Chains A and B, each alone.
Chain A
Amino acid sequence: MSVRSAPSVWRDPVALLAAPAVLYLLVVYAFPLFWLLMKSFTGPAGPTVQPYVAFMADPFNWRVIGNTLRVAAWVTLVCFLIGYPAAFALARAGAFVQIVMLVSIILPLSIGAVVKAFAWQIVLRRDGVVSQLLLGLGIWDEPQRLLFTETGLVLGAANIFLPFMILPIYSVVKLIDPRLSEAGATLGATPLYRFAHVTLPLTLPGVVSGIAFVFSMSVSMFVIPSLLIGDRFQTLSTLTGRSFLLMRNEQLGSTTAVILLVLAVSIVVGSTWLARRMGGSTT
């Protein structure tokens, strides 16, 4: 591969346009990452896997890993359930409505996660909107605590990450020829069959990238859980942050960071692979 691709750069000098990006990523991303990786495998007496063994031997840490993955999975699911239909609505809307919708999806991105987390604190408190609504509908008999619960965290995080689910799916839906579904209908396919065999496979690339975005952001979020659920619910990233910032234990911090990275990458890569197998090529 390398033998064949190396000269092609020279045959096609356009590839050189990637040089600044490659250089930038090498310096600010790849090298620090490599350093982090090395740090986690370096003990006082040379190379070691002891930090990993010690980490895995503690049942509490398995709970932390569980917390991290569970919350990320819920956030991704909620984003998908809300984002998938929303992407269709966006793609099929008239020009004016589409602009309004796009602005309302993109504009909140300019507000920091901290501000949004504080806003959620107001929404989720006992006399907040959600509580009032559930009480008014008779679902709750008395106000209950939503703040600093996993439900509250998932709701808040899903809100913050939703645009990253909608936009990739939207960009794919936009390109689907609506006549394909109509053609299926002419051939006698039921709406459900058309969705499962025509629309869904065609949107799969968008779904996969949306899931990859949202999952990898929610598995590594740090500010949102520290504000919406607090110190009593540790995730791999809050543990990493604390190891570096408070405990000054760089080895523990780099170990948890590497575990988080490996988990996130394998789940994203794995689900992409699965989606490709299920729905054909996604690229």
Chain B
Amino acid sequence: MTKPRITARTAAGFNRRALLAAAGAATAALAAPRILRAQGKELVIGGAASHKNFVETIIGPAVEKKFNCKIVFEGSRSLVNLEKMQKNKDKQYLSVVMMDDPVMIPAVAEGLLDPITTAKVPNMAALKPGTVHMDGMWVNYLQPWLGIAYNPKAMKTAPTSWADAYDPKYKGRVILPSLQNTEGLANLFMAAFLATGKPMPEAQKDIDAAFKKLVTIKPNLLTAYTQMPQAYNLLEQGEGFMISSAISQVAMERKVGGAPVDIAVPKEGIFAMPSGVALVKGGPQPELAAGYINEMIGPEVQAKLSTATYSLPTNKDTPVPPGAPTGVTIHGIDWKFVADNRADWVKRWDRDMSM
């Protein structure tokens, strides 16, 4: 049992897969035929590189123990996973994909996913409302949230509102994510919310109002980043005071690591950045794949997972981990609407937000 059973692969790994599998099988067949039989079931999961740690230490071991199988995790990016499924449409090798919700939509449109049902995944019944999408095409296994990251050394009082980023006293000190980055969408919707005063589900459709409000933040902007590490670098050096719309997990990891970073929960509420998981249509080992998802959204793994990632669990029977916000409005994002309009928004962002 000391032998590590989880193997990680890089984005390019799938090209080496056949070779590795063949070599592995040959060696195993020669050396230890019994092990080969025992560990014959192998499940390949596609996800983001940032998932690697918790898949290998939390979800993987739980699933392997229960089903006596081997979990192989390929960590890349959501879009790379989509590409892998597109390229292997006739002979999928991924069984489960863990991708951002916006990327799930094209995957559904191209018929690459199999719906998740309570028959296959009983724990689905315990999921919070709003975490099952498009009739079960994918579900959310975690809710990292978006708040405002700030440098407590530079800002004596923590931000309390999304409107603080517009306050003239923070001239040149505010960092925004680019609209290219998923976390950047929060600013757009919040701008509409602040400008129109409408409830969020309605406000987030009023993109024109959003941009009219958002351009007024320009004097305060230090930069709009596409590379998140740079944003935290600027924040921690004190050049930037706040990152308006920051992912809880990233900010908390920096904070726990000792950096002068904290994350504030604005009074208007936070955004859920749901992380999706789906079954690959025609993927190998479909029962095992369903079992993986069932474990993932089960109370035991959920508790460990939400604590380790400073996120909110999606299983309603799992308590919110200490330190995570409670009693605050969690705004959802209409990902279908985003997918349909994102390109136009990015175009307008380029024009309106340029220097």
Which A residues form the contact surface with B (CB < 8 A)? Answer: 60, 63, 118, 121-122, 125-127, 145, 147-150, 226-227, 229-234, 242, 245-249
**How many whole Å from A249's CB to the nearest CB in chain B?**
8
Contact A232 B343 (CB under 8 A): no
- B227 surroundings in chain A (CB, below 8 A): 226-227
State A37–B237 Cα separation when bound (angstroms).
44
**How many whole Å from B58's CB to the nearest CB in chain A?**
30
Assess whether B239 is interfacial by the CB under 8 Å rule.
yes
Contact A226 B233 (CB under 8 A): no
Find the B residue at minimum CB distance from A124: B239
Contact B346 A247 (CB under 8 A): yes
A-B contact pairs, 19 of them (CB 8 A): A60-B351, A121-B237, A125-B237, A145-B172, A147-B234, A148-B222, A149-B355, A226-B226, A230-B224, A231-B180, A231-B353, A232-B221, A232-B224, A232-B353, A232-B354, A233-B355, A242-B180, A246-B346, A248-B79
Contact B180 A227 (CB under 8 A): no
Find the B residue at minimum CB distance from A60: B351
Contact B225 A231 (CB under 8 A): yes
- A60 surroundings in chain B (CB, below 8 A): 350-351
Find the B residue at minimum CB distance from A144: B172
Contact B239 A125 (CB under 8 A): yes
**How many whole Å from A112's CB to the nearest CB in chain B?**
14
Besides A231-B225, A231-B226, A233-B355, 7 other A-B contacts (C-beta < 8 A)? A118-B233, A121-B239, A125-B234, A150-B355, A230-B225, A231-B178, A247-B343
**How many whole Å from B338's CB to the nearest CB in chain A?**
13
Contact B353 A121 (CB under 8 A): no
Find the A residue at minimum CB distance from B354: A232
Contact B354 A233 (CB under 8 A): yes
Number of contacts between A and B (CB, 8 Å)?
A: 61
Assess whether B117 is interfacial by the CB under 8 Å rule.
no
Assess whether B157 is interfacial by the CB under 8 Å rule.
no
**How many whole Å from B214's CB to the nearest CB in chain A?**
12
- B222 surroundings in chain A (CB, below 8 A): 145, 147-148
**How many whole Å from B323's CB to the nearest CB in chain A?**
30
The proximity string for B residues 200-238 relative to A, scoring 1 for CB distances below 8 Å and 0 otherwise, is: 000000000000000000000111111100100110011
- B353 surroundings in chain A (CB, below 8 A): 231-232
The listed residue with most A CB atoms (<10 A of its CB), out of B221, B223, B234, B354, is: B223
Find the A residue at minimum CB distance from B239: A125
Q: Which of B221, B225, B237, B346 contacts A122 (CB 8 A)?
A: B237
- A121 surroundings in chain B (CB, below 8 A): 230, 233-234, 237, 239
- A227 surroundings in chain B (CB, below 8 A): 227, 230
**How many whole Å from B282's CB to the nearest CB in chain A?**
23
- A150 surroundings in chain B (CB, below 8 A): 355
Contact B226 A230 (CB under 8 A): yes
State A125–B234 Cα separation when bound (angstroms).
9
State A59–B226 Cα separation when bound (angstroms).
24
Contact B180 A230 (CB under 8 A): no
The proximity string for B residues 27-62 relative to A, scoring 1 for CB distances below 8 Å and 0 otherwise, is: 000000000000000000000000000000000000
- B351 surroundings in chain A (CB, below 8 A): 60
Find the A residue at minimum CB distance from B176: A231
Lowest 4 A-B CB distances belong to which pairs? A231-B178, A230-B223, A231-B224, A125-B239
- A242 surroundings in chain B (CB, below 8 A): 180
- B225 surroundings in chain A (CB, below 8 A): 230-231
- B350 surroundings in chain A (CB, below 8 A): 60, 234
**How many whole Å from B105's CB to the nearest CB in chain A?**
13
Contact B223 A148 (CB under 8 A): yes
Contact A126 B239 (CB under 8 A): yes
- A149 surroundings in chain B (CB, below 8 A): 355
State A100–B109 Cα separation when bound (angstroms).
61
State A126–B171 Cα separation when bound (angstroms).
13
**How many whole Å from B218's CB to the nearest CB in chain A?**
9
**How many whole Å from B99's CB to the nearest CB in chain A?**
14
The listed residue with most A CB atoms (<10 A of its CB), out of B79, B172, B222, B350, is: B350
